[in-house]
Amino acid sequence: MAGDGAGLIIRRLAPADLPLLLAASVLFDHPLRPEMARRFLAHPDHHLFAAMADGAMIGFVSAVTYLHPDKPLECWLNEVGVAEAWQRRGIGLALMRAALDHAWLLGCEAAWVLTNSSNRAARGLYAAAGGTASPAARHGDGVIMFDFRPAA
């Protein structure tokens, strides 16, 4: 759990937090599906960190750690969302740091996220969180991959 001294708390959600998550559906791209949300929170390789103020979710980052028979453990950062009224206050960065710290604690050797080249806010956030945009990792029409590595 982390806070910023102004009542902001960042923490990983657990299965018991399902009502809190469902109440924050507006933060997501699409309406939440309660059964999928329940399964996500219950799965040990799926991670949802929430930024909370006054007991309500105001932001989140979702991530997945995954295994492959011939590769090291990695973390895919899927999505970051912060309520419009709370944007540009460092909440997205705090969420990214919480997710990355968790990935490193789990033993992930790398983490990555994709964004569109036109998404300046996301590009700025991922760079501020320590991500490196790889010119070799440009995919399709303006998609950029940001790569993260744990500090040595």
**What integer pLDDT is reported at residue 136 of this predicted model?**
53
* pTM value > 0.75: yes
Give the domain ranges of the chain: 2-148
**What integer pLDDT is reported at residue 130 of this predicted model?**
96
Task: Give the whole-angstrom CA distance, residue 42 versus residue 16.
Answer: 9
Q: Under CATH, which architecture does the 2-148 domain have?
A: 3-Layer(aba) Sandwich (3.40)
Task: Give the whole-angstrom CA distance, residue 4 versus residue 16.
Answer: 24
pLDDT in tens, 74-133: 999 999 999 999 999 999 999 999 999 999 999 999 999 999 888 899 999 999 999 999
